[in-house]
Amino acid sequence: MFSQRDPAAIPWRSAGVDVVIEATGLFTEKAKAMAHITHGGAKRVIISAPAKDDDITIVMGVNDAQYDPVRHQVVSNGSCTTNGLAPAAQVLHQTFGIEHGLMNTTHAYTNSQALHDQPEKDLRGARAAAVSIVPYSSGAAKAIGKVIPELDGRMTGYSLRVPVPVVSIVDLTVNLQREATAEDINAAFRAAAASGPLQGILGYSDQPLVSSDYRGDPRSSIIDGLSTLVIGGKMVKILAWYDNEWGFSNRLIDLALLMEKRGL
């Protein structure tokens, strides 16, 4: 165990560490994260947040086949919301085509928020998290373009932080290229969850469950089949639950194991 503020001061090589999970939220720029490699002696770094200049952003089950050990040293695993959104968006796009989409994540409050009202520049972010619904920005929808290039510039969205400690839900509304019914859409999600690269990552439920039922769920995204809506044949709304802590933590480990398997 080390206690260091500077990544360059951590002796990863002598500790036998090959893959570092950079989860402080402070070193999300490639140049800063690279210190784990250039000075610490690690071989790869996974950033547990969106990064602007990473070598690649990977969402397991969606684009993990693109990992190249020769070219990719600093890899972003996106965010918990990116991992909650991307599997659902991929199924919709591959099956029906997405023209444009709007996303809202109703998100559990986080430790970046205030527990009591405080005097800060961010007037909304300064409000008491445990008793308020707080609108926040979210880069998850825009980050989809790094994971599914065909959707680059086609999606945007925001977040509503709510007074629950864990489990969040993506509310995704899209215009499809081809007409579909709610039954068609749910069938596509069931099939993707049952087999293929999204098995164990994407889930599907037609049970009347609520957020607390998904605490500790290791999957990235669980479609709430009871909430799928279609109007006009092409406008679709779906809901996808995710444990924003445990599900995402599982994907970080999955990505580290993938990198080890394919070569460091």
Estimate to the nearest angstrom the gap between the alpha carbon of 219 and the chain centroid: 11
Report the alpha-carbon distance of residue 39 to residue 37 in Å, rounded: 6
Start-end of H helices in 26-139: 30-33, 35-38, 80-95
Alpha helices, DSSP H only, in 30-179?
30-33, 35-38, 80-95, 140-147
Active site residue 81: no
Q: Which of 80, 141, 155, 201 is catalytic?
A: 80
Buried b / exposed e along 89-103 (16+ C-beta atoms within 10 A): bbbbbebbebeebeb
The Cα–Cα gap between 148 and 154 comes to 11
User: How many angstroms separate the CA atoms of 159 and 131, rounded?
Assistant: 16
Looking at the annotation, which residues are catalytic?
A: 80
